[in-house]
Structure 1
Amino acid sequence: MSLNLINKTSGKSYYKVPRINTLKEMLEFCQERYSEEIAFKYRNKPRSEVICKTYTEFANDTRALGSALHDLGLKGCHIAIIGENRYEWVVSYLATVNGIGVAVPLDKMLPENEIITMLDRGDVDVLIYSSSFQQIVEHITQGNTNLKAVICMNPEKDEDIERDGFYSFHDLLSHGYELLDSGYKKYIDTVIDSNILSVLIFTSGTSASSKAVMLSHKNICTDIMGLGGVVSFKPGDSVVSILPLSHTFENTTGLLFPLFLGITICISDGLKYFPQNLTEYKPKCLIGVPLIFDKFKERIWAEVKKKGMEKKVRIIMSLANLLSHFGINLKRKLFKQLLEPFGGDLCAIVTGGAPMEVDTIRFYEGIGIRVYQGYGLTETSPVVAGGNDFVRKTGTCGNPLPGVTVAVDNPDFKGVGEIVVKGDSVMLGYWKNQEATDEAIVDGWFHTGDLGRIDRKGLIKVTGRAKSMIVLNNGKKVFPEELENYINKIPYVKESLVWGEAVNNGNVDICAKIILDKENITEAIKCPEDESAIKRLLDKAIKDVNKLMPVYKTIRYYVYSYEELIKTTSMKIKRYVETAEIRSLFGKLATSIKKTTGRNIDRLKEMLAKRAETF
């Protein structure tokens, strides 16, 4: 594969950053610099007492668990970790990578059959799990003879671990402290090779289609230091951890990077308790996918509208933005009440996984919260680029991080091509898949599969995924994300999915599945079940969207639904699962998107279910 690169750009550092070669060095650095600062705040169960751990206590817990695992003879093992975000998860992860073997974080949303497959694919020897997986783990161990040890982070009953090969996390922790007190040093004296496999992370997708990304200490530490070169927080500032720690975005930006800066990580009790956690922990920074921040914005605007203050707030926001151009920043004082749902101290949000709507960015910036839109992939440890303390431009993913070089490969006449990345944060490769590795990394450049362009200031704009791009019969290319952004701006629309469908003699037409907000749509029509009224409403809305597009991007057919789109746990739409389900439904009903355009697809599913009952 030959490269045709343009607009090559590298990141620069704005802050002096301590050098770390391994996560073990980082932990030692954190203990020395932030020893008595609070590293973690968490609860064992919702509504229970908050537990605090200092950086020294955390470092000692990690060494104690590592010593116990070493004493069990688990050196060199692949250790899978599955469960909700909790302190024991973090200790298990760092104890593994800092002297035992390879950590294999698993998505807590995986069904049992996929957990089994990934344990096999990842050559897993040890499984560390939370008690919510007790039954699944018991079933897995009946048929898995490869597991040398199974460790429960929080056993609810003694009998849960009273069987061969099962252990309690806290029993091992106590044993580890006894070993350290007796002078056991085999674990803490381990020398880490920063260049070899340390973490194995499966990408989103089914167990059959997902790839296992191999990351080293060098990969991850490069990304941590890169982030430290462009974003600064003070030791003692706090962040609330809500995204799954098994995902590399949360793992690096929501866990390891905050630890590097001496930030207090407050582990959320779960989505249900997230608003309460914000008001009690009062974070300075939040890390999340755009959907989380969209929900908060909608809730705040709903309250503003309810009080009849929308026009007034918008006017004040415009004036505050104008004053900020003259160095007068009154936003946080003027919008103190709007900041209260976040705890009152929130200064910055870091978002990734998907582009944030421009309106959402402007809302948060307008009330005094900095928005850092990031871009990255599991294969790049993960952050490639992002807005920083000095450069943030709405609608872009900012500049590359220090140590990262980005370019556009094989561009079209508009300068749009595949985004490629080079640097020490690029993965070692795909586990047991040399063919995929060779395809992804060419001459040191990692091919992201994302399309975009880079402007003269080195700011990156992602326009879409190469795999989701719709290629029409005339060769024209359409990015679904562009059309989805317009559809999603319709007031009563929650989200949407756009895809290409071969419908007329093989011609590819653009189609959409529109997810409606049942509450908001009642502002436009009397009854949310009135299909005729909804069709008239959506016909006009789609017509208005089409007016904004060149003719070849016209949305021809659509269906609507009230059920949310299928997503990964990082809130990305599973496009191929969705479109496969739609095609399967139409096939079973002997119909097509053309014949059912404007219909409620939920009703079509009900129709199919009734047919099945009849037979």
Structure 2
Amino acid sequence: MREFSLPALYEVPADGNLTDLIRRNAALHPEVAVLARKRDGRWEDVTAEDFLAEVRETAKGLIAAGVRPGDRVALMSRTRYEWTLLDFAIWSAGAVSVPVYETSSPEQIAWILSDSGAVACLVETDAHAGAVNSVRDRLPELLHVWQIERDAVGQLRDQGAGITDAEADERAALADADSPATIVYTSGTTGRPKGCVLTHRNFFAEAGNVVERLRPLFRTGECSVLLFLPVAHVFGRLVEIGAVLAPIRLGHCADIKNLTDELASFRPTMVLGVPRVFEKVYNSARAKAQADGKGGIFDKAADAAIAYSRALDTPSGPSLGVRIKHKAFDKLVYGKLRSVLGGRARHAISGGAPLGERLGHFYRGIGFTVLEGYGLTESCAATAFNPWDRQKIGTVGQPLPGSVVRIADDGEVLLHGEHIFTGYWNNEAATSEALSDGWFHTGDIGTLDEDGYLAITGRKKEIIVTAGGKNVAPAVIEDRIRAHALVGECMVVGDGRPFVGALITLDEDFLPRWLEDHGRPAGTTAATLRDDPELLADVQKAVDDGNAAVSKAESVRKFRILPAQFTEESGHVTPSMKLKRAVVAKDFAHEIEALYTK
């Protein structure tokens, strides 16, 4: 058994709640732009003083509507300014916010609202309202549904006109540090989502220590972040609360399809995302270079960036020749890539899945350092992350200051600290299984090095044991294969089988370019192409790259290209894009069987 800890850098308030942050900001930085909202295609700053006033007026409406202290209020919307406004308004009414993914089905909505006992629900669109109303007969406790696109904020402001500022401030002060702040429902990869109860203390410990450890990235009045992750996900919530705690200027992007344009107009100093975003930026840039006849130059620039980054970890640093190449490519290639990410940012924080060493070195080499981290809903987002000044690429960093990471005898990662959730809502059995003597059992397998840097190697429940008795952790090879531009998703199989195989889907965004480059008719589907020799050869390159990261016994011997995508709508991935392995295995059982049929 091995463990590592770092001293806390942020003193969690003994009392109080998250609404104290917006009152503090208004008192200390009244004219500082702490948020920005998009209006008529332009960013409009919102000062700390104005944000507090908006939150207070909106909270008055909730109070007037009968929302009581401790009541649960659901919030279902894309990532937009009103999400943060309503989140703080719910807390200011003394209530508990319950985020719902905006892509949730009526059945999922019914479960979350009924299990949490929500008395009100704030939705964004007509479609969301329709989904809630379609199951309202199963939600006897639900009294109100307001819609953002039908001026929910204005309606609440008018409804609360009779509530005084003193009444509103008294209500906002009722919750203490150990009161529930939110109930975040897990993605449900193995069954019905469970509601993780996260307190105000959990968020203070989490966001406070993240901000202090990464303080150069959170300088008030200088730094900014554009939030494009779903705020229903705990990582998005950390970004929201961390930005307000710092405080730094926070913007929202509702549609990731517009991300490049939004980054260019907002120009954040820091980016927070998941590996798929950084993979897409790299693959798109490489594909564009190839289409312009500059693929060779891009590949040489990428190799130079990786060589430069790797040399940074050596005692002597990059050689003169590497530095000269790096400087030349900075003008030709690297600067253009940084401009795609807004032009000002020099750091990003990545979580949700492994980034991969090659991509980590590539981004650091172009002058855009991606700090990888690791966390779960139960750990209130990041429980480990790479510090800005001592990054170790290939790891998820050191423990959150003030917390402890322990590796059990069987390799499982255990966590302890003030950021760990208090339990699952209405589910004592699941709580007692996950929490033991104050330690949270993550279900992940990992290692700690001598400096306390954590590496995650797989999930206990996802370990594949081949017929030959070889234990295989799928994550490592899956992530390497998925990094290829042509690959959309990859799921490794082989439990009880003679060798490891894989199910692979094609990337819908990259496929049209592949068709054009290989003289295939536009619109040709994956179902038609799955046995195409050239396509199979290109996918084999991705598999070969993945196999290079593991032993021969763990390598993928055969693969099948699937005719369909793994999507949330198909039921094969969660809203946070985690594979529902059991569902995939069941739905594509015939494809798996074909891997092992001679």
Pair in the same fold by TM > 0.5: yes
**Helix, strand or coil for the counterpart of 1:375?**
strand
Q: What is aligned with 1:434?
A: 428
How far does residue 522 in structure 1 lie from its aligned partner after superposition?
5.3
Q: What is aligned with 2:493?
A: 499
Q: Is the 8 A contact 1:118 1:207 kept in 2?
A: no
CA distance in 1, matches of 2:158, 2:190: 36
CA distance in 1, matches of 2:63, 2:547: 63
How far does residue 234 in structure 1 lie from its aligned partner after superposition?
1.5
- Matches of residues 297-316 of structure 1 in structure 2 within 5 Å? 297-305=282-290, 306-308=292-294, 309-310=297-298, 313-314=301-302
CA distance in 2, matches of 1:146, 1:195: 25
Q: Is the 8 A contact 1:106 1:246 kept in 2?
A: yes
Please say if 1:169 is aligned against 2:173: no
CA distance in 1, matches of 2:196, 2:300: 50
- Matches of residues 501-540 of structure 1 in structure 2 within 5 Å? 501-502=495-496, 507=497, 509-517=499-507, 518-519=511-512, 527=520, 529=528, 531=531, 533-534=533-534, 537=537
- Matches of residues 229-378 of structure 1 in structure 2 within 5 Å? 229-232=212-215, 233-236=218-221, 237-252=223-238, 254-305=239-290, 306-308=292-294, 309-310=297-298, 313-314=301-302, 317=305, 321=309, 325=317, 335-378=334-377
* Letter of the structure 2 residue corresponding to residue 533 of structure 1: P
Q: What is aligned with 1:558?
A: 559
Q: What is aligned with 1:162?
A: none
CA distance in 2, matches of 1:467, 1:121: 26
Q: Is the 8 A contact 1:229 1:402 kept in 2?
A: no
- Out of 65-74 and 168-177, give the one that drifted further: 168-177
Please say if 1:579 is aligned against 2:580: no
How far does residue 26 in structure 1 lie from its aligned partner after superposition?
1.9
How far does residue 64 in structure 1 lie from its aligned partner after superposition?
1.9
How far does residue 57 in structure 1 lie from its aligned partner after superposition?
1.2
TM-aligned CA distance change 1:437 to 1:392, over 3 Å: same
Q: Is the 8 A contact 1:418 1:447 kept in 2?
A: yes
Q: Which runs of 5+ in 1 are unaligned?
A: 1-5, 157-167, 412-416, 598-615
TM-aligned CA distance change 1:131 to 1:455, over 3 Å: same
Higher Cα Rg: structure 1 or 2? 1
CA distance in 2, matches of 1:19, 1:526: 63
Q: What is aligned with 2:130?
A: 135
Q: What is aligned with 1:55?
A: 48
Match among 17, 20, 24 for residue 25 of structure 1: 20
Q: Is the 8 A contact 1:81 1:127 kept in 2?
A: yes
How far does residue 445 in structure 1 lie from its aligned partner after superposition?
0.8
**Helix, strand or coil for the counterpart of 2:280?**
helix
How far does residue 12 in structure 1 lie from its aligned partner after superposition?
3.9
Match among 207, 218, 222 for residue 224 of structure 1: 207
Please say if 1:422 is aligned against 2:421: no
Q: Deviations over 1:240-290 (max 9, x none)?
A: 1111111111101x2100111121111114112111101100111111111
CA distance in 2, matches of 1:240, 1:459: 28
Please say if 1:401 is aligned against 2:391: no
CA distance in 2, matches of 1:300, 1:521: 14
CA distance in 2, matches of 1:16, 1:206: 34
**Helix, strand or coil for the counterpart of 2:362?**
helix
CA distance in 2, matches of 1:500, 1:399: 33
Match among 45, 51, 57 for residue 64 of structure 1: 57
Q: Deviations over 1:157-197 (max 9, x none)?
A: xxxxxxxxxxx33121244465336x544645633221132
- Out of 323-332 and 93-102, give the one that drifted further: 323-332
Q: Deviations over 1:289-343 (max 9, x none)?
A: 1101111111222334435232552476368656894799969777322211122
TM-aligned CA distance change 1:117 to 1:383, over 3 Å: same
TM-aligned CA distance change 1:266 to 1:315, over 3 Å: same
CA distance in 2, matches of 1:539, 1:151: 48
Q: What is aligned with 1:41?
A: 36
TM-aligned CA distance change 1:535 to 1:302, over 3 Å: closer
Please say if 1:470 is aligned against 2:455: no
Q: Is the 8 A contact 1:7 1:455 kept in 2?
A: no
Q: Deviations over 1:174-223 (max 9, x none)?
A: 44465336x54464563322113221110002795211101111111110
CA distance in 2, matches of 1:16, 1:431: 28
* Letter of the structure 2 residue corresponding to residue 262 of structure 1: P
- Please report the RMSD computed on the Cα atoms of aligned residues, expressed in angstroms: 3.1
Q: How many residues align?
A: 562
Q: Is the 8 A contact 1:450 1:465 kept in 2?
A: yes
CA distance in 1, matches of 2:244, 2:512: 41
Q: Once the two structures are aligned, what percentage of the paired residues are identical?
A: 25
How far does residue 142 in structure 1 lie from its aligned partner after superposition?
4.7
- Out of 262-271 and 95-104, give the one that drifted further: 95-104
**Helix, strand or coil for the counterpart of 1:147?**
coil
* Letter of the structure 2 residue corresponding to residue 581 of structure 1: D
TM-aligned CA distance change 1:544 to 1:98, over 3 Å: closer
**Helix, strand or coil for the counterpart of 1:371?**
strand
* Letter of the structure 2 residue corresponding to residue 370 of structure 1: T
Q: What is aligned with 2:570?
A: none
CA distance in 2, matches of 1:128, 1:53: 22
* Letter of the structure 1 residue corresponding to residue 348 of structure 2: I
Q: Is the 8 A contact 1:64 1:180 kept in 2?
A: no
Please say if 1:118 is aligned against 2:112: yes
* Letter of the structure 2 residue corresponding to residue 242 of structure 1: F
Q: Is the 8 A contact 2:348 2:371 kept in 1?
A: yes
- Matches of residues 371-386 of structure 1 in structure 2 within 5 Å? 371-386=370-385
CA distance in 1, matches of 2:548, 2:380: 41
Please say if 1:7 is aligned against 2:2: yes
* Letter of the structure 2 residue corresponding to residue 57 of structure 1: D
Q: What is aligned with 1:165?
A: none
How far does residue 396 in structure 1 lie from its aligned partner after superposition?
0.0
* Letter of the structure 2 residue corresponding to residue 273 of structure 1: N
TM-aligned CA distance change 1:19 to 1:145, over 3 Å: closer
Q: Is the 8 A contact 2:488 2:505 kept in 1?
A: yes
**Helix, strand or coil for the counterpart of 1:43?**
strand
How far does residue 594 in structure 1 lie from its aligned partner after superposition?
2.3
- Matches of residues 193-204 of structure 1 in structure 2 within 5 Å? 193-204=176-187
- Matches of residues 76-95 of structure 1 in structure 2 within 5 Å? 76=69, 77-95=71-89
CA distance in 2, matches of 1:207, 1:117: 15
CA distance in 1, matches of 2:485, 2:176: 53
Q: Deviations over 1:343-397 (max 9, x none)?
A: 2101111110001022221221111112110100000112100011222111000
* Letter of the structure 2 residue corresponding to residue 577 of structure 1: V
- Out of 144-153 and 390-399, give the one that drifted further: 144-153
Q: Which runs of 5+ in 2 are unaligned?
A: 568-572
Q: Deviations over 1:62-120 (max 9, x none)?
A: 12222222233211311111111222221221122244221111111111121012111
- Out of 538-547 and 492-501, give the one that drifted further: 538-547
